[in-house]
Amino acid sequence: MKKIVVTGGAGFIGSAFIRHQLKTYPEIHVVNFDKLTYAGNLDNVKECDLGRYTFVQGDIADRGAIQSAMEGCDAIVNFAADTHVDRSIMGATDFISTNCTGVYNICEAARELKTQRVLLVSTDEVYGSIREGSFKETDPPQPRNPYSASKAGGELIALAHFETFGTPIVITRGSNTYGPYQYPEKVMPLFITNLIDGEQVPLYQGGEHNVRDWLWVYDHASGIDTALRKGELGQIYNVAGGNERENIVLTHKLLSGCGRDESFIRLVKDRPGHDFRYSIDASKLRGLGWTPTMDWDQGVSETVDWYKNNEWWWRKIKSGEFLEYYRKQYEER
Ligand code: NAD
Ligand code: DAU
């Protein structure tokens, strides 16, 4: 692959994927197509100006814009999405536009341009919650919140495109991802940056024992890369971190990493419809040679250190649009 379009590359995982591609493949050219919503941030791709990287501002819900960015590319990898569950509960119009209509536009443009591969980055949340055991790719989607429903909708549109038109779709479903450059609305960076500032962390009451499976961001990037290059068309691949932890265990780990005690926990009203546990089986992707490399303790400690050492990155964010969201989410509920 010589030229790939990455949509949503100024967000958390998309920007890590671009860094991974430029480092791993010396010949590759990456076009980063991003709308720059509140979650998109050009600071995330500062290191990427290598002559093999181009940025285009645009919306995947705009068919003409995404099609012209895709002209001449070998593959497209779609990260562009509205991604935060709590925001989708406040209102999901943008989620449907980007996560469903946007995906449809990418499929249509790929059909027209005969793009060789379309990799859709999706999520383990489409399966819904599971008390015991782990979901396999053959299990049916049963999303339980507006965000995951919109992601499942995008997947179904793309898979139908594959069946009907032969559009070369491959889908990945990743688990909860963590690491540098994650927007501080998500639990890890929110809690770490609050603790650095000596503020309490808003742990959802009733969700203390809910479980998430944590995946290091560069392991997620390499999993997507494996599916992109070796995955079979029309297939889905789970990308699991293999680090299932209860929220209370994660919280204690972050408290200790930031030198704070239990008095820094503030129990707040739970997320409506809060999914209890996500768990996926990644043996299908492992069968293609992928394996996650990051140890959980080391990954969390590197993440805490990164936020401690990169206040320039998150202070700007936390003093902007974020403040109004935070007030609505945690104080007006
Ligand atoms: P993010 O919220 O950090 O970034 C999303 C990016 O998409 C932003 O740069 C934003 O500007 C861009 N974007 C949004 N709407 C757009 C549009 N209409 N057109 C073009 N660009 C648009 O997201 P993330 O956490 O990096 O997630 C990336 C992808 O990975 C998403 O598809 C998400 O569903 C999936 N995913 C995330 C996780 C996780 O834990 N964060 C886990 C599994 C899968
Ligand atoms: O599983 C993959 C998904 O992981 C991705 O598809 C989503 O884009 C991503 O946002 C993430 O969804 P979650 O809802 O699991 O992540 P979040 O960081 O919002 O919450 C993680 C857990 O922490 C969840 O059980 C809710 C809890 N939580 C979260 C926040 C923001 C709290 O207790 N307090 C909080 O303030």
Q: Average pLDDT across each block of 10 residues of the chain; the chain has 333 residues. List them in order.
A: 97 98 96 98 89 96 98 98 98 98 98 98 98 98 98 98 98 98 98 98 98 98 98 98 98 98 97 98 98 98 98 95 93 73
Atom of ligand 2 nearest to the CA of 188: 18
How large is the greatest C-alpha to C-alpha distance in the chain, in angstroms? 58
Q: Does the annotation count 302 as an active-site position?
A: no
Please tell me the number of the ligand nearest to residue 272's CA. Answer: 2
Residue 326 contacts by C-beta under 8 Å, 6 or more apart in sequence?
A: none
**Ligand 2 pocket check for 175: Cβ under 6 Å:** yes
Catalytic residue among 125, 155, 213, 275: 125
Please tell me the number of the ligand nearest to residue 99's CA. Answer: 1
The confidence score (pLDDT) of residue 232 equals 98
Atom of ligand 1 nearest to the CA of 44: 9
User: With a threshold of 0.95, does the pTM exceed it?
Assistant: yes
Closest CA to ligand 2's atom 36: 202
The confidence score (pLDDT) of residue 333 equals 63
Closest CA to ligand 1's atom 32: 79
**Ligand 2 pocket check for 154: Cβ under 6 Å:** no
DSSP assignment letter at 145:
S
**List of domains in the chain:** 3-177+215-239 (3.40.50.720), 179-212+243-275+295-331 (3.90.25.10)
- Work out the burial of residue 242: count CB atoms within 10 Å of its CB; fewer than 13 is exposed, 13-18 middle, 19 or more buried: middle
Q: How far apart are CA 121 and CA 13, in angstroms?
A: 10
Q: How far apart are CA 285 and CA 136, in angstroms?
A: 11
The confidence score (pLDDT) of residue 47 equals 85
**Ligand 1 pocket check for 152: Cβ under 6 Å:** no
Atom of ligand 2 nearest to the CA of 86: 19
Chain centroid to CA 270: how far? 22
Q: Does the annotation count 147 as an active-site position?
A: yes
The confidence score (pLDDT) of residue 50 equals 74
Tokens coding 296: 């959980």
- Nearest one of 123, 57, 60, 58 to 88, comparing CA atoms: 123
Closest CA to ligand 2's atom 31: 187
Say how many C-beta atoms besides its own lie within 10 A of residue 137's C-beta: 17
pLDDT tens-digit series, residues 51-64? 999 999 999 999 99
Q: How far apart are CA 223 and CA 278, in angstroms?
A: 18
**Ligand 2 pocket check for 207: Cβ under 6 Å:** yes
Residue 197 contacts by C-beta under 8 Å, 6 or more apart in sequence?
A: none
Please tell me the number of the ligand nearest to residue 39's CA. Answer: 1
